[in-house]
Amino acid sequence: MENIENLSSEALLQSLEQRNNWDGLPMCKFQGFWCPVFTLHPLLCFQKNFQASDTDVLLASVPKSGTTWLKALLFSIVNRDQFPIDQSPLLATNSHRLVFSLECFYYAKNDNPDLGNVPRPRLFSTHLPHQALPSSLMESNCKIVYICRNPLDQFVSERQFLLKNRLWPDKPYGEVLSLDEAFDMFCDGVQAFGPFWDHLLSYWNASLENPDRVLFLKYEDMKRDPVLKIKKIAEFIGLPFSEEEEKAGLVGDISMLCSFEKLKDLEINKNGIHYGSVKNNSLFRKGDVGDWQNYLTPAMAERMKIILEEKLSESGLILDI
Ligand code: PAP
């Protein structure tokens, strides 16, 4: 890797391959992934300045894989002594405003933000692949909770999100490509933070190497049995539910509070926005497994299956399509 320490992000950008995302958003290939250009400088600052703490919990994902849900769950698990369910901040605040992104929020606002005031254990999120995380984070004992989703649902969810939000009203891009064109790019590995399979593999391999540090979750498994997964997450981050809590039904209560149906119907998620212009309701579209069947042809699914076979077969990672 070239020595990026001395390069400005503009100079670095000039040396990188560039492509546009499905909505025209400029991206550059950096450290093996398609980095939206607007996150390149924040990412460099994050890599350089972040000081991890052993008690930190990092939520990582490809966008549209269940981030909003996992943020709500982690926040509820960590703060369960502080807020009874009926007084949860989630009832009035979208989870993206309770757990913030490192590269899209903290380091986008400030090259070296003071993160000392974030309540401990600090909860952070990222869409970066594992190899792009700062060395301080890699060397600490902090926990990483990763969530992935089957690629066809992720693709549909992402494209619908872009269509709904038109994220860049003041920029000369924002028009979303046709389904076929976007799917071609997706199959070529071109999407924000992609290639999809490389992102998953980076955390999958890390979870195999360090199972105590990286928990690898699938959206589909969480939908099937949220209570089981909530217990697993709590144990993993070192905050297991006590027998009394379980008997009192707290795990089920957290599961209900963070369910798609409950969160979707809250006023804040019907009408609020976050990160400037993102409509909260665009994060609560359907929340189904297999919705891709309403958009994609069997031939498209077959094409993705063949790609996944090639990319994942040696890894042991199996995705349900
Ligand atoms: P983000 O990366 O922008 O934060 P993210 O939350 O990862 O988005 O993904 C949004 C998807 O998660 C949406 O999927 P869909 O488009 O297929 O419907 C959204 O509906 C789903 N989702 C949001 N909240 C929940 C929840 N509480 N339970 C299950 N799925 C959810």
Residue 118 Cα to ligand 1 middle (Å) = 25
254 lines ligand 1 (CB under 6 A): no
Q: What is the pLDDT of residues 257-274, one digit of tens each?
A: 999 999 999 999 999 888
What is the per-residue pLDDT for 3?
56
Nearest Cα residue to 144 out of 47, 241, 215, 63: 215
pLDDT value at residue 168: 74
Give the mutation target among 62, 64, 193 for probing the ligand 1 site: most ligand atoms within 8 A of CB.
Answer: 64
On whether the CB atoms of residues 266 and 97 are closer than 8 A, the answer is no
CB 156 within 8 A of CB 173: no
User: Between β-strands 123-126 and 100-101, what pairing exists: parallel, antiparallel or unpaired?
Assistant: parallel
CB distance 65 to ligand 1 below 6 Å: yes
Q: Taking 60 as the threshold, does the pLDDT of residue 1 lie above it?
A: no
Mean pLDDT of 298-306: 98
Other Cβ atoms less than 10 A from the Cβ of 38: the count is 16
Output the pLDDT for position 2.
47
Rounded CA separation 75/239 (Å): 12
* Ligand 1 probe mutation, 65, 99, 221, 283, most atoms within 8 A of CB: 283
pLDDT at 276 over 70: yes
Handedness of CA 183, 187, 188, 192 (dihedral sign): positive
Q: Which helix (H) or strand (E) holds 29?
A: strand 26-30
- CATH number assigned to the domain covering 26-312: 3.40.50.300
Confidence category of residue 148, pLDDT binned at 50, 70, 90: very high
3-state SS, residue 42 = helix
127 flagged as catalytic: yes
How large is the average pLDDT for residues 251-258?
98
Per-residue pLDDT reduced to its tens digit, 181-219 = 999 999 999 999 999 999 999 999 999 999 999 999 999
> pLDDT band at 8, cuts 50/70/90?
confident
In this structure, of 19-28, 84-93, 272-281, the range with the lowest mean pLDDT score is 272-281
